[in-house]
Structure 1
Amino acid sequence: MRNLFLFLLLLTAVFGYSQKKTLQTTIRTSSILIDGKIDEEAWRSAAIAKDFIMFQPDNGKPIPENKRTEVKVLYDNDAIYIAATMYDNEPTKILREITKRDDFGTSDFFSVFINGYNDGQQDFQFYVSAADGQADCITTDISGEDYSWDAVWNSKAVITDFGWVAEIRIPYAALRFSGEKKQTWGLNFFREIRRDRQKFTWNLIDSKLGTFTQQSGILEGIENIKPPTRLFLMPYASFYLNANDDKKTTGIAKGGLDIKYGINDAFTLDAILIPDFGQTKFDDKILNLGPFEQQFNENRAFFTEGTDLFSKGNLLYSRRIGGAPIVYPTTTDDETIIDNPATVNLINALKVSGRTKGGLGVGILNAVTEKTNATIENNNTKETRQQEVQPLTNYNVLVLDQRFRKNSSVSFINTNVTRNGSYRDANVAALVWDLNTKKNTYNLSGNFKYSSINAIEDKTGYSTSLNFAETSGKYRYSFGGDLVTKDYDNNDLGINFETNYYSLYGNTNYRILNPTKHFNSFRVNYNLYTQFHKETGKIQGNNININVNLDTKKNHSVGFGTNIAPLQSYDFYEARTNNRYVILPQRYNAWMYISSNYNNKFAFDFNPYYAIFNEKNRNTFEISMGPRYRFNDKFSMSYNFYFERKNNNRGFVDSIDDDLNATTPETIVFANRKVITYSNSISGKYSISSRMNFDLLVRQYWSYAENHNYLSLQQDGTLTDFPTYTTNKNSSFYSWNVDLSYSWWFAPGSQVSVLYRNNAANFERQINKRFNRNVTNLLNNDALSHTFSISVKYFIDYNSIKRKF
């Protein structure tokens, strides 16, 4: 009888966890002050959401009684209110590192996930840390979490003698919901106890399923509210003081306006007038010896905020907008380029994005950049002339993304670049699908992309891929393939390196879903990949990869693996000439990483890598390591050192056209070289409060390629000695960057930013191997420039103004 009772109790618990919990809210009956005290009369009769369940690491385990969590929800005509009480039997051990917005740091946190349509497709997530910090994001199962999205809302967190409390007010302008009289919202609450690395949710998130947003509970009781007018104005003013390499100091004042307008309950218009991106993070430039351009991160807020729709199909590389000019100026022997802009100014930009209740997402992005000229001077007469290097250019992106059955989508994407005058125009269209079975156990994904270039010689091409995967359980697998034609080109508004190939790949992996005696998490992967040149069928790439990633019971992360290229392959890109290739030898490498628990004041990261090639004395060694130390909850520093050494590395350095009549092929010159790279980075932060922060970022970089002997590339892809080539093609690039910034969120959505920056970079053919001398020369020479800037941005909510007047 006792066994039967236990069985029924267990069955009831499992059945209860598998159902969607429902919380009934009511309208607030008295005023609420967001102060973290939760002592107003309105809270006393509110229903309680409790009985949280562990999400990670021991999925499905009930929260301990001494760490129980209780949440209440109220609403009025303007906002929804959340009061969360997080009990903790050891409140003095609650981690509470103070950080800037959207940085969780080492801190406990509580969050609320809201889906105003209750369609399991998109959550608006709001986080409050035990240090009274804020973070927010938009989340979908397909695109993941987008923390570039920022809303304006209020919160307060307070540490108590029984744990900690978070009180939140989220205005309806920060959410999306329909205009129905009775609202039914998707709802979940999330709590992380950082010192234990344990995460809990109110409604169970079953980790065996490949979905997160579809496992929310339900909020009922909200009635007779209307979606507000979502009109936000963000005027800004900024001042820049620059001291450059010619020792001149110049001051520049700027002003502008950003606008966010809710077209309806689903769609939002974002526009920037007179853009200012002067305070964006610097680029980590490197010595790029390869055949492809270096890809940079997007740091401009307009192009990172709420752009999950525009990432569909991976067709948008927004750094193209306002990037380098497309034409390099031409000069005669007696002319010198005295001014060639590195970037093109953005005139304005706007985007419209949102999703209907029926699951149709629409995204439109448009930007215009100005006509740009280089200045060229005649060495004899000193007269100057202007040459156009970038015409007036319009960039446009359209995305239509239809979601259905809560977990699948089909998307159409179109990108277009139109340049004024007789310049190259480009258009790319794509169909992208992500299909999941009803129980989220299997996935079929893929795409078809078509590019059309209008230039001196028009060309069209396409790219397509198909992938099938099992996405649930301990054992999972996937397999698929890609096909890209020679003339596929999306580089006017996207970025793509390799074309003219087809590939086949597969993966199988095993993971634990609950902790074991030794591990909190454990996963092993086995991957196969082979790429073939489309026209000749030659193997362009091949790889067998085995890797293991795990977290120990003390929350240290460890990973290790090996990559093997067992077959000789043919590289059609390094030669930089059509239909030419170089033979690559077999390669074997191994790597590992150790990342100690960041909860500790002192933590350390260590990542070594070693590769050996099937060529005499050819190998690569690299190591990245760095300590980090949290002095207290306000102040922390981290340092990272990176070193790489490539011995007998072989790569392209030059091409010589010996025959003007092109009756013989050009000579392609390679070098047998040693490549050394050093990088030192320091980052630090001091937070006076969660709304007032100092940040420091320093990066020193030096890389050189020393050529030992030159080689000639033969028609069969082999390399032979080329002793008659004597041109110095050594390369040495070093750079220095410092950013010291102060930010103060003096009101919701309003910020003062102060930045001091100095930077320098230099490229030389002569290699000075004295490390200290290189750094000293870089800091002392005329290339070091300084910038001091102040920017003030003020947030104006139309609804607040309307209520006042």
Structure 2
Amino acid sequence: MSKRLFRSIIFILLTSTVVAQNDSVKVQREYNTVQLPIGEEIIIDGELSDKAWGNVIWDDDFTVFEPDNGKKASQRTKFKIAYDAKFIYVGIRCFDSIPDKIEKRLARRDNFSGDWIEVNIDSYNDKRTAFSFNVSAAGVKGDEFISQNGDFWDASWNPIWYTAANIDEEGWTAEMKIPFSQLKFGAAEEQVWGLQIHRRYFRGEERSIWQPISLEAPGWVSEFGRLNGLKNIEPQKQLEIQPFLVNQFDSYPSETGNPFRDGKDYILNAGLDAKIGLTNDLTLDLTVNPDFGQVDADPGAIALDGFQIFFEERRPFFIENKNIFDYEFADGNDNVFYSRRIGRSPQGYADVTENEFVDQPTNSTILGAAKFSGKTKNGWSLGLLESVTGKMYADIEDVAGNKRSELVEPLTNYMVGRVQKDFNERNSYLGGIFTATNRNLPNHLEFLRSGAYTGGLDFKHNWKNRNYYVEGNIVGSHVVGSEEAIARTQNSITHLFQRIDAGHVSVDDTRTSLTGTGGKIEIGKAGGGNWRYDGGIIWRSPELELNDIGFLRQADEIKQTASVSRLFIKPTNFYRRANMELSQYSTYDFDGNYNRIQYQFEGFINYKNNWWTEVGAAHKPRIFSNTVLRGGPRWRWSDENFAYLFFGSDSRKKLSFTLGYVNSQAAENNFSLARYVFRLYYQPFDAFNLSISSEFEENPNKTQYVTETNFNGDARYITGNIDQKTFSTSIRFNYSINPNLSIQYYGEPFISRGTYTDFNYVNNPIAEKLNERVTLFSDNQISKSTSTDDYLIDEDFDGAIDYQIENPDFSYVQFRSNLVLRWEYVPGSEIFLVWSQGVVGAGNPSETLGRNLDQQILGQKKDNTFLLKATYRFIL
């Protein structure tokens, strides 16, 4: 271990032992509810006029959370809570001194616009997770599952509940009716739940709360008040069955002679989702032939570094309760469980001749999946997921009409098991995870791993009112397969065991398994006062492999991190709040190479008028990479500096915007980046909103990797000067006829173009000076073929071609759009009418982005999909 790394660890441990001397004592508020008498009923119309409300008392005295934390709220709020055998009821009165100016913006579910009120219930009483129910003055419903003590809010959680709002001469009122079956709690004679009521007073952009929480607090859920009086509630075992029917018609440009592209397809699909409450706090989710259609396509992206691209999960079955299965063991997106592996694109391709046509499946079919998950009153979080994807075949037909099929993805079983246990009065937890992937492989798919297994342990301990914490985890992986599969794994960009200058790894073509470890340890201060800090160590051993059911970008790394931040939480005449942070990290590989160090500053300020500015800058005096040359020697980049500036207007206004600029510059003009960002939001009237987000990026690089070739028996690594430009724009609009009926549009063109000049070969990859790292080909060494588009290289000037490289110029064009009519005709049951358009292709690299946009997107016939989907949720 280097002296620099040792000193960093000592600094982190010493600074983390500091404790605050003046911790404030939190006074926990309580609300005592009562059960409604038999026969008395509350009708959910938003008017609070039912006689049954007289059985419970009002509570108020809300204080400001932001901006003037702790002060009395400028507008009064009061609420009541009652319950019966199956439901909990919340009635809220939001007083407003100018009722005509209450902002009542219509939107789709989970769009939190205008004035709203939010009820947070920690029915587990674990001080880490909660259920959030929100309604706006316009009656728009929102709901989220809160985890990580308020750090993560999952809007994909869509329980069945009932709400309404009404505006009157005193302000506005709201009623909520929440089934106990949608909450999770253990059996007890009297329940004690965490409770918070949170109001947004839109006009003054003031957030007020029932239970006071300091902005110095280490979290959200842990600071809740208490809801008492819930006596003898019988746990409601959830039983919901939701069949669906999808009727789909596809039209697209036909291809002459191709039987699989005749211009149209028709698909009728049906399936079933079910949710079974085994107990009130543990649920079994089942799906048969699931429909994983989604409104938004994945954003356009292109990766010249060779690494896989991470995409967010959008499928409801995998999103619900995903916090229980989450195991982010390091940093970035690395995770033991990455659900997008299930149903992935087939990894094999059909072997065809020139006279054959292929219909290649785009995704693997999920035959079925089951998920058991929940949390018990004793603090046990439990999760078990099992899924099977079927064999996928590519259909092949030749010009004579002969047909055959070829297996491109094997039958695969995925399993994930997760457990966590809270203890120490919910201030600590200890957990574990286990995953398994097993494939039934025929001979021609033995390049895939036959099995992959991971296991891990994680923990977190909070102390001093949760202001201080230490957390960590460890992961172990074991993958097995044929010699071909394991050699392929060793040579993949995640591992690169073939690196010619690596002294600690090498490719062994006889191996049939790999075993690795990874993990992190972090300690820091999360609350109390205006200062926060943390520091830690992350590692990924060379043989760690998670990509069968997890996500791992790069193995063989040790990373040290440290950061300190200052919060400015007391408003002034200039700002509402602000913060700034200094951070530093350095990386090493397991061969002892010191690869990188970075120092970074970030700052944010929210001005008094609700405009804001975000700035940042970083210095990277040392940048080495083991992956740039894709198995070649370690590479050095020139020193880099980068900075960014974003600012935006008040997001409450009918018209708001964000402008941003990012600039990165390496020494000797090795590479640079200039990114321009523009975002616009416009809501001309309450029922309609439009948003546009555009980015333009220029990213030239004098040493962009091109290929590896051979010269006189030695490896030769070719790079070039790339001029890369990328443009993307996403456009969205939403028109809400009422809170349950809306029309939404999403469209995004994406264009990326790269042209190469000044080809060169790597000479001394770790030289400090750029001209010593690479040698530029002269005009006498490189020429372009007259018969192909390849470049011909005569490196030794003997008049004979030593090697050739393919022209790496590219232009990638993608367009995706969706127009969706959504109608929730009864709670939990929906009808979708969808029109999707798309085109993917290659433009002309010599043309401008604008001309490629015109020719490849606007001027091309597009694939069209018309879809009708209907669901009905039976609650039994």
TM bracket (short chain): over 0.9
Corresponding position of 2:41: 31
> What is the alpha-carbon distance in structure 2 between the residues aligned to residue 93 and residue 16 of structure 1?
38
Alpha carbons 1:155, 1:168 under 8 Å: kept: yes
Query: What SS does the aligned partner of 1:776 have?
Result: helix
**Which of 726, 729, 735 pairs up with 1:677?**
726
Letter in 2 for 1:441: N
Describe how 1:286-325 pairs up with structure 2 within 5 A: 286-313=301-328, 314-325=335-346
Corresponding position of 1:51: 61
Corresponding position of 1:516: 572
- The 10-residue stretch of structure 1 (278-287 or 465-474) with the greater mean CA deviation from structure 2: 278-287
Corresponding position of 1:397: 416
Letter in 1 for 2:619: I
- 1:223: Cα distance to partner? 2.3
Corresponding position of 2:136: 129
- 1:775: Cα distance to partner? 2.7
Letter in 2 for 1:241: F
The 3 A distance-change label for structure 1 pair 83 and 462 is same
**Which of 838, 854, 863 pairs up with 1:759?**
838
Corresponding position of 1:348: 368
Alpha carbons 1:603, 1:628 under 8 Å: kept: yes
User: Aligned pair count?
Assistant: 772
- 1:341: Cα distance to partner? 2.0
Alpha carbons 1:312, 1:411 under 8 Å: kept: no
2:165 is aligned with 1:157:
yes
Letter in 2 for 1:151: P
> What is the alpha-carbon distance in structure 1 between the residues aligned to residue 232 and residue 700 of structure 2?
72
Letter in 2 for 1:145: W
Alpha carbons 1:242, 1:788 under 8 Å: kept: yes
2:292 is aligned with 1:277:
yes
Describe how 1:116-265 pairs up with structure 2 within 5 A: 116-142=123-149, 144-246=152-254, 248-265=263-280
- 1:712: Cα distance to partner? 1.8
> What is the alpha-carbon distance in structure 1 between the residues aligned to residue 409 and residue 165 of structure 2?
51
Describe how 1:275-674 pairs up with structure 2 within 5 A: 275-313=290-328, 314-331=335-352, 336=356, 338-376=358-396, 383-404=402-423, 405-421=425-441, 423-424=448-449, 425-456=451-482, 457-472=512-527, 473-539=529-595, 541-567=596-622, 569-577=623-631, 580-616=633-669, 618-657=671-710, 664-674=713-723
**Which of 775, 785, 788 pairs up with 1:720?**
775
Corresponding position of 2:259: none
Letter in 1 for 2:134: Y
Letter in 2 for 1:572: N
> What is the alpha-carbon distance in structure 2 between the residues aligned to residue 608 and residue 396 of structure 1?
44
Corresponding position of 1:268: 283
Corresponding position of 2:824: 745
Describe how 1:770-789 pairs up with structure 2 within 5 A: 771-782=850-861, 784-789=862-867
2:146 is aligned with 1:90:
no
> TM-score under structure 1 normalisation?
0.92
Corresponding position of 2:70: 60
Structure 1 residue ranges without an equivalent (≥5): 1-13, 799-805
Letter in 2 for 1:525: E
Alpha carbons 1:373, 1:389 under 8 Å: kept: yes
1:555-591 per-position Cα deviation (integer Å, ceiling 9, x unaligned): 1121111111122x221112111x5232111011110
Query: What SS does the aligned partner of 1:777 have?
Result: helix
Root-mean-square deviation (CA), in Å? 2.1
> What is the alpha-carbon distance in structure 2 between the residues aligned to residue 28 and residue 636 of structure 1?
45
- The 10-residue stretch of structure 1 (433-442 or 461-470) with the greater mean CA deviation from structure 2: 433-442
Letter in 2 for 1:26: Q
Alpha carbons 2:33, 2:82 under 8 Å: kept: no
Letter in 2 for 1:108: D
> What is the alpha-carbon distance in structure 1 between the residues aligned to residue 638 and residue 728 of structure 2?
28
Alpha carbons 1:641, 1:680 under 8 Å: kept: yes
1:180-237 per-position Cα deviation (integer Å, ceiling 9, x unaligned): 2333322221111122221111111232221221222222222232112310111111
> What is the alpha-carbon distance in structure 2 between the residues aligned to residue 326 and residue 776 of structure 1?
32
- The 10-residue stretch of structure 1 (141-150 or 313-322) with the greater mean CA deviation from structure 2: 141-150
- 1:27: Cα distance to partner? 1.9
1:94-141 per-position Cα deviation (integer Å, ceiling 9, x unaligned): 222111111112x11112122234342321111111110111122133
Corresponding position of 2:505: none
Structure 2 residue ranges without an equivalent (≥5): 1-22, 255-261, 329-334, 483-511, 767-772, 783-792, 794-803
Query: What SS does the aligned partner of 1:195 have?
Result: coil
Query: What SS does the aligned partner of 2:685 have?
Result: coil
Alpha carbons 2:603, 2:615 under 8 Å: kept: yes
Alpha carbons 2:828, 2:872 under 8 Å: kept: yes
**Which of 82, 93, 96 pairs up with 1:74?**
82
**Which of 783, 791, 804 pairs up with 2:869?**
791
> What is the alpha-carbon distance in structure 2 between the residues aligned to residue 430 and residue 735 of structure 1?
39
Letter in 2 for 1:645: E
- 1:657: Cα distance to partner? 4.6
- 1:777: Cα distance to partner? 3.4
Corresponding position of 2:31: 22
Query: What SS does the aligned partner of 2:181 have?
Result: helix
> What is the alpha-carbon distance in structure 1 between the residues aligned to residue 159 and residue 582 of structure 2?
41
- 1:771: Cα distance to partner? 1.5
Alpha carbons 1:280, 1:299 under 8 Å: kept: no
Alpha carbons 1:25, 1:219 under 8 Å: kept: no
> What is the alpha-carbon distance in structure 1 between the residues aligned to residue 308 and residue 269 of structure 2?
32
> TM-score under structure 2 normalisation?
0.85
Corresponding position of 2:769: none
> What is the alpha-carbon distance in structure 2 between the residues aligned to residue 330 and residue 713 of structure 1?
36
- 1:597: Cα distance to partner? 0.9
- 1:691: Cα distance to partner? 0.9
- 1:315: Cα distance to partner? 1.5
Corresponding position of 2:759: 710
Query: What SS does the aligned partner of 2:322 have?
Result: coil
1:325-365 per-position Cα deviation (integer Å, ceiling 9, x unaligned): 22234456x56562222221111111111011111100111
> What is the alpha-carbon distance in structure 2 between the residues aligned to residue 244 and residue 233 of structure 1?
35
Alpha carbons 1:459, 1:487 under 8 Å: kept: yes
- 1:509: Cα distance to partner? 0.6
Query: What SS does the aligned partner of 1:666 have?
Result: strand
Query: What SS does the aligned partner of 1:214 have?
Result: helix
Query: What SS does the aligned partner of 1:196 have?
Result: coil
Query: What SS does the aligned partner of 1:687 have?
Result: strand
Alpha carbons 2:833, 2:867 under 8 Å: kept: yes
The 3 A distance-change label for structure 1 pair 251 and 337 is closer
Alpha carbons 2:185, 2:376 under 8 Å: kept: no
The 3 A distance-change label for structure 1 pair 219 and 595 is same
- 1:512: Cα distance to partner? 1.6
The 3 A distance-change label for structure 1 pair 466 and 183 is closer
Query: What SS does the aligned partner of 1:96 have?
Result: coil
Letter in 1 for 2:611: H
The 3 A distance-change label for structure 1 pair 326 and 231 is same
The 3 A distance-change label for structure 1 pair 766 and 645 is closer
Alpha carbons 1:17, 1:203 under 8 Å: kept: no
